[in-house]
Amino acid sequence: MNYNYYIADVFTSQVFNGAQIAVFPNADGLSNEQMQLLAKELNLTETVFVFHPGSEGTTRKMRIFSPLVEIDFAGHPIIATAYVLGCCGDIKLTEAITPVVFEQNVGPIDVNISANQGKPFFVQFSRKVSSIVDRFAPTDEELAAFLSIQQSELDHKKYSPRLVSCGVPYLIVPVWSYESVRKAKFNYAAWSQSIAPQTAAQEILLFAPKTPFMDSDFNARLLGPRIGIHEDPPIGSAMPAFASYLCSFEHTRKGTHTFTVDRGDAKARRSVLNLEMDHKGQEQLALRVGGEAVMFAKGTVFLPA
């Protein structure tokens, strides 16, 4: 059996930027074992396998695999899948905005594909999330030690470190400058000697409310004991926690907020994520995440019958 796949660069409009995601637009017939082996073989952050529950309509089932395990939810694959399905004609884009539903393991996700002359150029998906925000955090001395930065670089004026979970706990740490985010290096020895492991957070979302780029409001980066010292992984899955974090501060006014978060820099596969959140002080936060994508490659896998 032959299976076509596409590789898209996500949250960017330029190749060699953003996050690379592989998408198999028609995976009907593949087994769990085959999907895991294919994801391992392609060795990208995430590989998406698309299934068609019905002969008509715009509902698709997504199965997402890292090289090691299946993932129940991820944001980058939504953008990549919508873009790929629109480009290859699996979903017809006859209107300016086409609504679709993608079923992930966590449930259905509403997606809007914006198109021009039948070609996708922007994808946005919606989620409602509940969060737990804990102000318990390691001391500034501990934070600076395991991030390899100076204590003076930590921001306590507008923001403060907090533990936020929308299912996965993140230790969110604000710093003053973009340069602090970029130069930080995770120190495992200092981490293990701090109280941080007791928080259950396995990843730190380090961010700065300043960036040298005109199209972004925040720069963010993930670090942690499971992330290589030179890695700068995709941040999409941390965005619900980040939005909930912003809403946990009194100076964040009620209403709809629109902002952008970028990851990386001009030399490190920069991504730009567009976010909208409806801050109403309610238990659930309505969040919309959008971005661009660009096609990078197309290939065919030859599997024995």
pLDDT at 266: 80
Residue-wise pLDDT tens digits, 263-304: 988 888 899 999 999 999 888 999 999 999 999 999 999 998
pTM: 0.91
pLDDT at 11: 96
Q: Dump pLDDT digits (tens) for 192-240.
A: 999 998 888 989 999 999 899 999 999 999 999 999 888 888 898 899 9
Average pLDDT by consecutive 10-residue portion of the chain (305 residues)? Answer: 96 94 96 97 96 82 96 93 96 95 93 96 95 93 97 95 94 97 96 91 94 94 91 90 96 95 89 96 93 97 89
Angstrom distance (rounded) from CA 170 to CA 207: 12
The residue from 41, 46, 179, 203 that is catalytic is 46
**What is the per-residue pLDDT for 77?**
95
Per-residue tokens: 197: 């492991």
If you search the block for the tokens 């409602």, which residue do you land on?
Answer: 128
Rounded to 5 degrees, φ, ψ at 235 are: -110, 5
Tokens at residue 246, please? 């912003």
What's the distance, CA 208 to chain centroid? 17
Q: Is position 292 annotated as part of the catalytic site?
A: no
Token look-up 């899955």 returns 237
pLDDT for res 56: 67
Q: What's the pLDDT score for residue 55?
A: 64
